[in-house]
């Protein structure tokens, strides 16, 4: 089934009532805190305001309403340069510019990953208006009085499920291959293991334990997102079809064959802003010749090693905690080295990310439990500003 059936162009996975799944003091950049009085898990409005304020100094360098449609390498005497083609949305005109280097920082949370479920294509053809993905979800109003099946175990699935359960016919049917730490057991939610098949002729679903639920009105897939870099087809002709295949990247940043092409935030299950800050610090130092990349052979060797450990698919980029903490510490250490490997602490040139201490690591590992306690406050949760108010205390010990 084409993702386009449930993901129109220029869509956004932002929905009404969306809140972060990390405490704001954990997700902020190293040098700018969230505004005083921000609720513990910031609303999407809080986050938008934070990013707009953070970007004020470089806002004049940003082109809005502009789509990148093609990025391709060219040779300029001895150096590789990049030809970048963009299209303005209004009016519909095309521009071409050349750059010494390109950073792909378009994220990976805007194009749906559809699960391989028997009957999914048949269901989408039979009942196209009843099949949804979290990428297009906006609010629960369209599910009033309906019998709903929600598939997925991530934080978005937990959040969207809680919203839909206030409007749909009870119980909300929820399928998870692995129980999510963000989900809570509620009397109006009926849990099932992984979804095995959809049976459109009976409007039914079959689960891994053999049980079947019938008379399902709507199916909501909270099954995550896939990588999408259509503008890099000149570099990787099959990139649109590959989706979840690991890119040929060193340290999840540098393209092995084209080191002047870099990626920010390809890793998943992470603390987004601080991880991007760590990667950007390394990137700036490599491209300003303060740090030197290994040889292409050694970069490929690193990638092959990760593939042997985690696979060449989506797991390659999955850095669930504490892997994201370890990775950010590695990036911190890397960007504090000079070309000859010595510490550059005395030089202090350029912006550096924070070093993750025990308290920050503890907070990262406790985030899901704190989020559940936060949600349990219901409408009063907006008054919660600290995790101590929810009964959590940091224990002064190392987190491994």
Where in the chain are the domains?
A: 120-221, 240-356
The structure tokens listed for 313 are: 């698919």
- Percentage of the chain surpassing pLDDT 90? 68
Give Cα 270 to chain centroid, integer Å.
8
Helix, strand, coil shares, percent, the chain, to 5: 35, 20, 45
Residue 11: strand, helix, or coil: coil
pLDDT for 65 beyond 90: no
In this prediction, residue 400 carries a pLDDT of 42
Angle at 167 between CA 176 and CA 385, to 5 degrees: 75
Alpha-carbon distance 48 to 295, whole Å? 40
Q: What is the average per-residue pLDDT within 183-202?
A: 91
Q: What is the average per-residue pLDDT within 130-143?
A: 94
pLDDT tens figures, 198-220: 999 999 999 999 999 999 999 99
Contact criterion met (CB below 8 Å) for 134 and 157: yes
**Domain 120-221, CATH homologous superfamily name and number:** FAD/NAD(P)-binding domain (3.50.50.60)
Cβ-proximal residues to 348 (8 Å cutoff; 6+ apart), any chain? none
In this prediction, residue 156 carries a pLDDT of 86
Alpha-carbon distance 97 to 100, whole Å? 10
pLDDT tens figures, 317-356: 889 999 999 999 999 999 887 655 555 554 556 788 888 9
Among the listed residues 113, 105, 392, 157, the one whose alpha carbon sits nearest the alpha carbon of residue 273: 105
The structure tokens listed for 118 are: 């028997």
Alpha-carbon distance 64 to 229, whole Å? 19
Alpha-carbon distance 271 to 28, whole Å? 9
Mean pLDDT of the chain: 89
In this prediction, residue 226 carries a pLDDT of 83
Q: Which DSSP string corresponds to 228-291? A: --GGGTTT-TTHHHHSSSPPSEETTTEESS-TTEEES---BSS-HHHHHHHHHHHHHHHHTTSS
pLDDT tens figures, 218-247: 999 999 888 888 899 999 887 766 655 667
In this prediction, residue 4 carries a pLDDT of 47
In this prediction, residue 9 carries a pLDDT of 58
Q: Which DSSP string corresponds to 132-156? A: EEGGG---GGGGTT--EEEE--SHH
Q: What is the 3-state secondary structure (H, E, C) of 311-375?
A: CCCHHHHECCCCHHHHHHHHHHHHHCECCCCCECCCCCCCCCCCCCCHHHHHHHHHHHHHHHHHH
Confidence of residue 89 (pLDDT cuts 50, 70, 90): confident
pLDDT for 121 beyond 90: yes
| Separation of first and last alpha carbons in the chain | 42
Sheet-wide strand order for 254-255: 102-104, 261-263, 254-255, 249-250
Contact criterion met (CB below 8 Å) for 267 and 318: yes
Q: What is the average per-residue pLDDT within 183-191?
A: 86
Contact criterion met (CB below 8 Å) for 270 and 325: no
pTM to 2 decimal places? 0.88
Least confident of 47-61, 107-121, 370-384: 107-121
In this prediction, residue 399 carries a pLDDT of 46
Of 160 and 341, which is predicted with more confidence?
A: 160
């Amino acid at each position: 089934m084409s993702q386009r059936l449930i993901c129109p162009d220029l869509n956004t996975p932002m929905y009404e009532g969306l809140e972060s799944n990390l405490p704001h003091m954990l997700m902020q950049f190293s040098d700018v805190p969230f505004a005083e009085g921000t609720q513990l898990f910031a609303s999407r409005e809080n986050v938008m305001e934070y990013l707009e304020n953070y970007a004020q100094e470089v806002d004049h360098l940003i082109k809005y309403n502009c789509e990148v449609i093609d990025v391709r390498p060219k040779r300029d005497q001895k150096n590789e340069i990049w030809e970048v083609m963009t299209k303005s949305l209004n009016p519909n005109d095309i521009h071409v510019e050349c750059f010494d280097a390109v950073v792909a920082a378009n994220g990976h949370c805007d194009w749906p990953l559809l699960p391989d479920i028997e009957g999914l294509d048949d269901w989408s053809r039979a009942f196209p208006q009843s099949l949804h993905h979290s990428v297009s979800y906006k609010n629960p109003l369209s599910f009033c009085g309906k019998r709903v099946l929600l598939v997925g175990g991530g934080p978005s699935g937990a959040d969207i499920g809680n919203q839909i359960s206030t409007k749909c016919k009870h119980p909300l049917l929820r399928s998870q291959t692995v129980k999510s730490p963000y989900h809570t057991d509620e009397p109006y939610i009926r849990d099932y293991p992984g979804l095995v098949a959809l049976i459109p002729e009976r409007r039914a679903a079959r689960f891994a334990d053999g049980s079947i639920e019938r008379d399902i009105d709507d199916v909501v897939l909270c099954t995550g997102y896939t990588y999408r870099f259509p503008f890099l087809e000149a570099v990787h002709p099959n990139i649109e079809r590959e989706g979840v295949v690991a890119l040929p990247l060193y340290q999840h940043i540098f393209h092995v064959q084209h080191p002047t092409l870099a990626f920010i935030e390809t890793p998943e299950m992470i603390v987004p802003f601080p991880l991007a800050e760590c990667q950007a610090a390394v990137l700036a130092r490599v491209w300003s010749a303060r740090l030197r990349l290994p040889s292409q052979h050694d970069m490929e060797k690193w990638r092959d090693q990760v593939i042997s450990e985690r696979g060449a698919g989506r797991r390659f980029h999955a850095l669930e905690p504490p892997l994201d903490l370890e990775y950010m510490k590695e990036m911190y250490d890397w960007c504090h080295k000079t070309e000859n490997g010595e510490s550059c602490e005395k030089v202090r040139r350029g912006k550096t990310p924070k070093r993750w201490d025990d308290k920050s690591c503890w907070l990262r590992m406790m985030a899901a439990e704190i989020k559940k306690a936060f949600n349990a406050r219901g409408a009063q949760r907006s008054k919660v500003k600290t995790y101590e108010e929810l009964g959590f205390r940091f224990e002064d010990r190392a987190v491994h």
